[in-house]
């Protein structure tokens, strides 16, 4: 923006007109101010004109560019040291990083780097943090206060996708968040370090069209409203994990690839509000905004704590490729760094964390799980995309860029290893054994009937008939329905008789499918 105040030609009264000229994004506007601001010889009139200009500039609201961070997962036995990782981040201009724990070696390596850090209180610690304020205080002392501010910790993620945690930790989430916050207050860190908890999009009952976005009803009073109240009280943002890849993979027959990859396309009009969307990422974000708006929480901002696209997948993982991963991540970076919000929230500039920094060879699940990385373990790029505004100057669509390396591949592990704590690959839908026989039977009947689930494997003599229990059979049917629906939000509900898990269900020797 270039602003100038200049006297124009002298009027008949001998007083010059004061012109306000503004050059905004290449456009030039020039207009005389009202007569009350015309220059006179008195210095007070100059002062008044200056004050008026300041007020005008204060009223100009312009969107600033968003910010790019990266998730630093470490479920691998071949990654570089934490100190090398910090140098890699700095060399790429990445100034935000999120980790899935509070590992001392990583936090020490980040000390003095200027990189802003989000640490995580793992799901398995939620019970202790909720039930024992002393545990929360000790955790904050050892994992936050001991490193900050030399290590620039800016937020604490309490749990991760807790609603799909098979250990049913949801009821402990809000008490844990409040106890962690009290501990931060005791160290006077609550103003500089914010608390939230990443949600998966499966927390939504409806996500299409975006304007109909709503949270799952069984979660609203239990945890959604209390969480949003907490975020409002503390000035924190709602953390969400958004993966257009999952939606495209399960619905590639109806979702255009260009729309999913943020490429040029004619867009889609939301039938509920008439807004046109040009990419699936914005549509998914606005579904969350709409869900919050429906509950009267329009003032809560969003931060995207995970998003990404795999560079390799199994044969049935439609869309997983180097070219598509480069296009999605590259185009998303450009979309975020060039500013502007979503159609529903045009001023909502976003901070996003790409998943993930490295390919991680010890992760379970389909091939895609081990191939979300931006870099190989040897620190070479999987594909060439920029992470800064400077790099964007010479950037073309990622799908047209040649892979940055040769024929390196990540192969599945031959034995055990770490398990991802985030929903970045396959998920399954299983029966809730506490829902009661009537709900389970009703859900099973619907799934195998009108729901169109493939229930042949649970018939007598078929591979998944054993164990012959209502919970096992319902789990298989619920999962079949869930997978056929592309794991869409709300497709694993069945009146509260089902929930999503991130590890393969185990019922006898039955293998639960991850797609059809």
Cis peptide before 149 (omega within 30 of 0): yes
Known catalytic residue: 306?
A: yes
Which residues lie closer than 8 Å to 143 by C-beta, 6 or more apart?
Answer: 102, 107, 119
Q: What is the DSSP string of 244-284?
A: HHHHHHH-TTTS-HHHHTT-S---EE-TTT--EES-HHHHH
DSSP, collapsed to helix, strand or coil, labels residue 477 as helix
Q: Terminal CA-to-CA distance of the chain, rounded, Å?
A: 53
Q: Which of 78, 124, 161, 317 is catalytic?
A: 161
Beta strands 194-196; 199-200: pairing state: unpaired
Beta strands 27-32; 16-24: pairing state: antiparallel
CA dist 62 → 31, 71, 168, 338 (Å) = 20, 29, 43, 12
DSSP, collapsed to helix, strand or coil, labels residue 11 as coil
CA dist 314 → 45, 47, 169 (Å) = 73, 69, 31
Asked if residue 118 lies in contact with residue 95, where contact means CB atoms within 8 angstroms, the answer is no
Known catalytic residue: 390?
A: no
DSSP, collapsed to helix, strand or coil, labels residue 297 as coil
Q: Which of 64, 124, 233, 306 is catalytic?
A: 306
Which residues lie closer than 8 Å to 334 by C-beta, 6 or more apart?
Answer: 392, 395
CA dist 42 → 4, 49, 53, 55, 76 (Å) = 20, 12, 18, 21, 73
Asked if residue 184 lies in contact with residue 119, where contact means CB atoms within 8 angstroms, the answer is no
Rounded to 5 degrees, what are φ and ψ at 431? -75, 145
- Tell me which residues are annotated as active site: 161, 306
């Amino acid at each position: 923006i270039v602003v100038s105040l200049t006297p124009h030609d002298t009027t008949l009264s001998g007083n010059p007109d004061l012109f306000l000229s503004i050059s905004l994004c290449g456009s030039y506007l020039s207009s005389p101010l009202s007569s009350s601001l015309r220059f006179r010889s008195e210095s007070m009139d100059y002062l008044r004109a200056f004050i008026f200009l300041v007020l005008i500039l204060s009223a100009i609201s312009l969107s600033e560019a968003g910010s790019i961070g990266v998730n630093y997962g470490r479920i691998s036995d071949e990654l570089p040291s934490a100190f090398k990782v910090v140098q890699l981040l700095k060399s790429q201009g990445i100034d935000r990083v999120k980790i899935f724990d509070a590992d001392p070696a990583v936090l020490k390596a980040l000390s003095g780097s200027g990189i802003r850090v989000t640490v995580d209180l793992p799901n398995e610690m939620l019970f202790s943090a909720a039930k024992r304020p002393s545990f929360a205080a000790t955790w904050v002392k050892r994992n936050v206060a001991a490193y900050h501010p030399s290590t620039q910790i800016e937020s604490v993620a309490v749990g991760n996708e807790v609603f799909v945690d098979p250990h049913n930790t949801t009821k402990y989430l809000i008490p844990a968040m409040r106890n962690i916050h009290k501990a931060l207050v005791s160290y006077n860190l609550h103003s500089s370090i914010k608390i939230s908890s990443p949600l998966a999009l499966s927390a939504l009952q409806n996500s299409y069209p975006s304007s109909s976005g709503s949270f799952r009803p069984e979660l609203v009073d239990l945890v959604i409203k209390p969480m949003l109240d907490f975020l409002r009280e503390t000035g924190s943002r709602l953390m969400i994990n958004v993966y257009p890849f999952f939606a495209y993979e399960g619905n590639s027959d109806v979702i255009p690839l260009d729309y999913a990859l943020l490429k040029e396309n004619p867009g889609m009009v939301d039938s509920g509000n008439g807004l046109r969307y040009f990419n699936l990422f914005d549509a998914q974000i606005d579904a969350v905004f709409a869900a919050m708006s429906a509950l009267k929480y329009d003032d809560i901002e969003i931060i995207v704590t995970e998003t990404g696209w795999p560079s390799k997948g199994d044969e049935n993982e439609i869309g997983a490729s180097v070219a598509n991963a480069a296009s999605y991540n590259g185009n998303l970076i450009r979309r975020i760094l060039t500013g502007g919000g979503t159609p529903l929230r045009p001023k909502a500039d976003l901070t996003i964390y790409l998943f993930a920094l490295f390919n991680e060879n010890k992760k379970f699940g389909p091939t895609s799980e081990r191939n979300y990385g931006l870099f190989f373990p040897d620190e070479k790029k999987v594909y060439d995309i920029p992470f800064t505004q400077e790099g964007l100057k010479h950037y073309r669509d990622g799908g047209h860029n040649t892979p940055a390396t040769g024929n390196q591949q990540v192969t599945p592990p031959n034995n055990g290893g770490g398990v991802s704590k985030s929903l970045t690959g396959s998920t399954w839908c299983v029966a809730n054994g506490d829902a009661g026989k009537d709900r389970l039977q009703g859900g099973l009947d619907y799934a195998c009937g009108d729901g169109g689930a493939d229930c042949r494997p649970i018939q007598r003599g078929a591979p998944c008939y054993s164990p012959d229990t209502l919970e096992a059979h319902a789990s298989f049917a619920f999962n079949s329905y869930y997978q056929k629906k592309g794991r869409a939000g709300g497709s694993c509900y069945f009146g509260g008789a089902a929930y999503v898990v991130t590890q393969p269900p185990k019922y006898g020797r039955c293998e639960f499918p991850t797609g059809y």
